[in-house]
Amino acid sequence: MEKLINVTRSSLPEFEEFCREIAPIWESRWLTNMGEKHKALQKALEERMDVPHVTLYTNGHLALENMIEALSLKGEIITTPYTFASTTHAIVRCGCTPVFCDVNEDDYTMDVTKIESLITDKTVAIMPVHVYGSLCDTDAIADIAKKHGLYVLYDAAHAFGVKKDGVDAGCFGDVSMFSFHATKVFNTIEGGALCYANDGLVTRLNDIKNFGIHGPESVQYVGGNAKMNEFCAAMGLCNLRHLDEEIAKRKIASDRYDGHLSGVAGLRLRQPQKGVSPNYAYYPVIFDGYKYSRDQVFEKLAAENIIARKYFYPITNSFDCYKGLEGFDPDATPVAKRLSENVLTLPMYAGLSVEEVDEICRIILE
C-alpha cells in the first residue's frame, strides 16, 4: 500500500519534551480547573500576541458561543457562509440570527462593500472570518462598526500566528476567537481561546466557562463548562516553542506548490496580502476553467492515496439543517457559492516534503 498523504498532519513536539512538560502534573495531581499549565499557557499567549487578555477554552466552538453570551447579544449578526459549520452554528445556538454577507474574489474574506446594505435596526454585531490564514479588511470593518455602533467579533480560527503590519491577528475587533484543534498550525490537541482588551469581560467569560463559581460556597452565574485541561495546556506550551519553526516548514511546502502551479491556465491561487505575514495554514486552489474539474482532481488524488479537502464545501447557508429557513439562500452569496464548488485545499503541514509536493502537483498537471 502506498503511503497516505493526508490533507493535514498534527504538529507534535518531541515525545521527551512533552513528558518533561507533563511530569509536574503527576506530582500535583492537578489535572484541570485552571492549574499551573493553564495559567502558563494563558500568559505565554498574551505575551506572544501582545493582547491584554486571553481566556482559554476546551475548543474554539465553545469559545465562540461564550463570546456571544458574554456580550449579551440578541439580534442579527452579519457573517459569511464561507466558513466552517461552527461559525454559523454558534450564532444560531445562541439565539441570534446570522445575516450572510458574500465574500470577495481576492482573499475569500467578507466583502466589505456589501456589509452596510445588510445592517438593520436589529443588527448587533459583525462576525467576519479570516480565511486560510488571510486576514479580513480589518480597517474597513472597524470603520463600519464604529459608524453603526456594532461589535466586531472575529472568527480567527485560521489565523494564529498571522500579523498585519506587525500587529497580531488577535488584536483586531472587540474579541477574536482562535481554534487550537489538532489540525491547526498551533494545536493544544483540542482547544481554543478568546483574545480581547475589555477588562470587564474577564470575570464574565470565566463565569460562563466554569459554572459561575466564585468560591467553594459561591455560585454567581448560570454558567457551563468549557475549561481547557492541564494536558492540553502542556501540549500548547510545547508547540508554542516551535511555532515559528513550524510556520517556516510550511512556507517551504507552500513555495514549492507555487513553483509548480503558478501561472497554470485554469488554476487560481491565493495571492499574498500586502503587509501580512502569513502562517501557511492551508493551500487552496480554485479550479476555474481547468482541464479537470475540482471533483475530478479530488478523485485523481484520492486514487493515489493523497487526501485533499473540499474546504469549505458546502457553504453554511446551504446546510441541510437550515433548508427552508428565511435568510439561508446560497444563491444570495454567489461568490461564496462558486468558490465552494471549485476550491480544493491541497495537503499542507510542516512535515510535508518537497518530494511529496512534487508528486501531488505531477498528478494535478499530468
Helix axes 60-70, 201-209, angle to 10 degrees: 130
Query: Do 21 and 148 belong together in one domain?
Result: yes
How do strand 151-155 and strand 175-179 relate by DSSP bridges?
Answer: parallel
Query: Do 108 and 38 belong together in one domain?
Result: yes
298 vs 63: CA distance, rounded Å = 33
327 vs 80: CA distance, rounded Å = 12
- The per-residue pLDDT for range 207-262, each reduced to its tens digit, is 999 999 999 999 999 999 999 999 999 999 999 999 999 999 999 999 999 999 99
On average, the pLDDT of the chain sits at: 97
In a domain, 7, yes or no: no
**Residues of the chain scoring pLDDT < 70:** 1
- This prediction's pTM: 0.96
210 vs 86: CA distance, rounded Å = 21
- Distance (Å) of CA 31 to CA 75, 191, 230, 240, 315: 38, 15, 5, 20, 38
Helix axes 85-93, 60-70, angle to 10 degrees: 40
Query: Do 215 and 345 belong together in one domain?
Result: no
Q: What is the CA radius of gyration of the chain?
A: 21
Q: 244 near 228, Cβ under 8 Å?
A: no
In a domain, 8, yes or no: no
Query: Do 224 and 343 belong together in one domain?
Result: no
Query: Do 197 and 294 belong together in one domain?
Result: no
The residues with which 110 forms a beta bridge, in sequence order, are: 103
Query: Do 280 and 321 belong together in one domain?
Result: yes
- Distance (Å) of CA 209 to CA 53, 65, 337, 340: 15, 10, 35, 34
Q: 73 near 94, Cβ under 8 Å?
A: yes
In a domain, 10, yes or no: no
Q: For residue 10, count other CB atoms closer than 10 A to its CB.
A: 16
Of 190, 218, 241, the residue at which a domain comes to its end is: 241
CATH number of the domain residue 34 falls in: 3.40.640.10
Of 218, 241, 264, the residue at which a domain comes to its end is: 241
Q: According to the model, what pLDDT value does residue 1 have?
A: 37
Q: Which domain holds residue 273?
A: 243-365
In a domain, 2, yes or no: no
Sign of CA dihedral 262, 266, 269, 271: positive
Q: According to the model, what pLDDT value does residue 323 have?
A: 96
203 vs 239: CA distance, rounded Å = 28
Query: Do 282 and 207 belong together in one domain?
Result: no
Of 176, 210, 241, the residue at which a domain comes to its end is: 241
350 vs 353: CA distance, rounded Å = 8
Report residue 53: phi and psi, to 5°.
-140, 140
- The three-class DSSP label of residue 199 is coil
223 vs 212: CA distance, rounded Å = 5
Instruction: Please give the grid coordinates belonging to residue 133.
Output: 490564514
Query: Do 54 and 175 belong together in one domain?
Result: yes
| DSSP-assigned states of every residue in 75-105 | SEEEE-SSS-HHHHHHHHHTT-EEEEPPB-T
Query: Do 223 and 150 belong together in one domain?
Result: yes
In a domain, 227, yes or no: yes
Owner of C-alpha cell 511530569 = 23
Query: Do 114 and 263 belong together in one domain?
Result: no
Q: According to the model, what pLDDT value does residue 3 have?
A: 87
Query: Do 164 and 252 belong together in one domain?
Result: no
Q: According to the model, what pLDDT value does residue 79 have?
A: 98
- The per-residue pLDDT for range 292-311, each reduced to its tens digit, is 999 999 999 999 999 999 99
Instruction: Give the end-to-end CA distance of the chain in Å, rounded to a whole number.
Output: 22
Q: According to the model, what pLDDT value does residue 337 have?
A: 98
Query: Do 232 and 261 belong together in one domain?
Result: no
257 vs 348: CA distance, rounded Å = 10
In a domain, 199, yes or no: yes
Give 107's contacts (C-beta < 8 A, 6+ positions apart): 131, 134, 135, 270, 271, 273
Q: Report how many domains make up the chain.
A: 2
In a domain, 106, yes or no: yes
Q: According to the model, what pLDDT value does residue 363 have?
A: 97
CATH number of the domain residue 355 falls in: 3.90.1150.10
In a domain, 9, yes or no: no
Q: Which long-range contacts (CB under 8 A, 24 or more apart) does 29-37 make?
A: 30/230, 31/229, 31/230, 31/231, 32/227, 32/229, 32/230, 33/210, 33/227, 34/210, 34/227, 35/230, 35/233, 36/230, 37/230, 37/231, 37/233, 37/234, 37/237
DSSP state of 126: E
